[in-house]
Structure 1
Amino acid sequence: MDRDIRTIDDVMNLLDGLFAPAADRWTSGGSGWWDDFYADRARPVPFFAAKPDESLASYVERGLITPGRALDLGCGPGRNALYLAALGFEVDAVDLSPAALAWAKDRAREAGAEVCFHQGDAFALTRAELTGPYDLVHDSGCFHHLPPHRRVGYLDLLDRVLAPGGHFSLTCFAAGDDGMGSRLPDADFYRQGALHGGLAYEDGSLRRIFGHLTEVELRRMRDEPESSAHFGEPFLWTALFRRDTPARAAVPAR
């Protein structure tokens, strides 16, 4: 008889297990799914192109964010990390997949860019590895692959590493007929033991989840043609939030 639940981490691990083997997409227990995904660099995947998010470029061009320390969560092959480094940001970039990071490091060498890459689960990396504080935390496509309970750790990570006055930039699946991702209620993902390719979000949901931050902009991503210097797909939300308030109270482990 198992009666092992004592801490918040125990609860998180139990809930992760409900989605195995799909948990390979977000936990430090493995990276095989993403390694397979990134193995063929010639695959016609829009975000494989070495282009930054159009929203991120827009924030820079409008002066909403300026060079400082940046953290790229779920950096993949490094397209946004390299863009920020070229602008003078000091960049830490994290991804679960060694295959994705190998590609990102190849691109960094070719571009002569300095980026500090970290392989692993961003929630499990130590304070020594992700030192913070960061003036910018950018996430393009990581958040919508997390199961609902992992939002707790995500918000805690933001509280820990985002500097006062710093910005959080997010690109994630948008709900709706022209969006992408599953619109199931949170509880149904646990009943079915599957994330169905990722979670779709409504704008109101994002405002509630990140309500402790100040909204700067929340809109659909612009559709960028293949010839554009930027990546853009209209089935995604883009959001920019600023930290104007103290960190939320941490949930104590018991």
Structure 2
Amino acid sequence: MNRTIRTTEDVLALLDRLFPPAADRWTSDASAWWDGFYADRSAGRPFFVPKPDEHLVSYLDRGLVAPGGRALDLGCGPGRNALHLAALGFDVDAVDLSPAAVAWAEERAAASGLGPRFHCGNIFDVELPHARYDLVLDSGCLHHLPPHRRIGYLALLDRVLAPGGHFVLSTFAAGAMGSERPDEDLYRVGGLEGGLAYAPEELRALFADFEPVEIRPMAEQSPDSPLFGVPFLLTALFRRP
């Protein structure tokens, strides 16, 4: 049977198949790739440190984001930001595709005595206990999405971010890390080349329905800093009207 396209999701699934499995790091089928990524906890990957993102801490310290409320962490990894938010009194749900990452996050939570809820699954179809969240955080998920899946990403934010809520993002920064090919070219080469880079103006355009509060490079942190910060990420804070 050759004529299988009849819905928007059929079109999106077809576009997914234009990327080889090794380049597809966001679907449920990619959990094995991420499990391999998190398998060696001593690998020294910068994201493995038990430290919260410096920009997230900055927003909270400066009062740009109010403490408390409900928070959703998309692509939480071993839970460093989810645990920080829980320590500040947020009611936290955190999602990751990798069972290995979620298991590590749950171990950290048990050791700290904090209680964020960790969910293993795809951010687009995971079942969450709340319909709306005051804070949605993405620390490295967006740049692994193929261009056509940004449609669902924006729909997800529209569905879960409460009016007046904040969206906190860090993503590969143009000129520092990630592919800067135009979206159309990515389908010609059949891959995301490790992740997509974004420039500030591209984030403003992508999240045009939100109010930009701050967009800046992540501030690099020294090894002895209590915060996580690497120079190849771009950070942003948006507010939903």
Which bracket does the TM-score occupy, shorter chain normalised? over 0.9
- Residue 181 of structure 1: which of 156, 178, 186 is its match? 178
Task: State the match for 1:233 in structure 2.
Answer: 230
Q: Report the Cα distance in structure 1 between the residues aligned to 2:13 and 2:23, rounded to whole angstroms.
A: 10
Pick which of 14-23 and 230-239 moved more.
Answer: 14-23
Aligned to 1:249: none
Q: Does the aligned pair in 2 maintain the 1:24–1:33 contact within 8 Å?
A: no
Determine the structure 2 residue equivalent to 1:212: 209
Give the equivalent residue in structure 2 for 1:116: 117
Is 1:55 matched up with 2:55? yes
Residues 211 and 130 (structure 1), Cα distance of their counterparts in 2 relative to 1, 3 Å cut = farther
Alpha-carbon separation, structure 1, partners of 2:98 and 2:17: 20
Deviation at 1:12, TM superposition (A): 1.2
Counterpart CA distance in 2 for 1:3 and 1:80 is: 45
Partner residue of 2:82?
81
1:229 partner SS: coil
TM-score by length of 2: 0.97
Give how far 1:22 is off: 3.0
Partners in 1 of 2:50 and 2:138 — Cα distance? 16
Moved over 6 A (4+): none
The answer to whether the 8 Å contact 2:23/2:191 transfers is no
Structure 1 residue 11 displacement after superposition? 1.1
Identity %, equivalent residues? 64
Is 1:37 equivalent to 2:34 in the alignment?
A: no
Q: Give 3-state SS (helix, strand or coil) of 1:88's partner.
A: coil
Q: What code does the residue aligned with 1:106 have?
A: E
Residue segments in structure 1 that go unaligned for 5+ positions in a row: 245-254
| Equivalent residue, structure 2, for 1:136 | 135
Aligned 8 A contact 1:24 1:31 in 2: no
Please name the residue that 2:152 is paired with: 153
Q: If the length of structure 1 is used for normalisation, what is the TM-score?
A: 0.92
The number of residue pairs the alignment matches comes to: 240
Which one-letter code corresponds to 2:102 in the other structure?
A: L
**CA deviation digits over 1:167-188, x for unaligned, max 9?**
0000001101xx1001111011
For residues 102-147 of structure 1, what are the alpha-carbon distances to aligned partners after superposition, in whole Å with 9 as ceiling and x for unaligned?
A: 0000000000110111111111224xx2523100000000100111
- Where 1:25 maps in the other structure, the secondary structure is coil
Aligned to 2:220: 223
Distance 1:108 1:232, change over 3 A: same
Distance apart, 1:29 and its partner CA: 2.7
* CA positional deviation for 1:24: 4.5
Aligned residue in 2 for 1:96: 97
SS of alignment partner, residue 63 of structure 1: coil
Letter in 2 for 1:84: L
Report the RMSD for the aligned CA atoms in angstroms.
Answer: 1.0
Flag structure 2 segments of 5+ consecutive residues without an equivalent.
Answer: none
- Output one character per residue of 1:74-104: Cα deviation in whole Å (capped at 9) or x when no partner: 0000000000000000000000000000000
Contact in 1 for aligned 2:21/2:30 (Cα 8 Å): no
2:214 alignment partner AA? E
Tell me the SS of whatever aligns to 1:29: helix
Counterpart-to-counterpart distance in 2, 1:153 and 1:130: 20
Is the contact between residue 17 and residue 23 of structure 1 (CA under 8 Å) also seen in structure 2? no
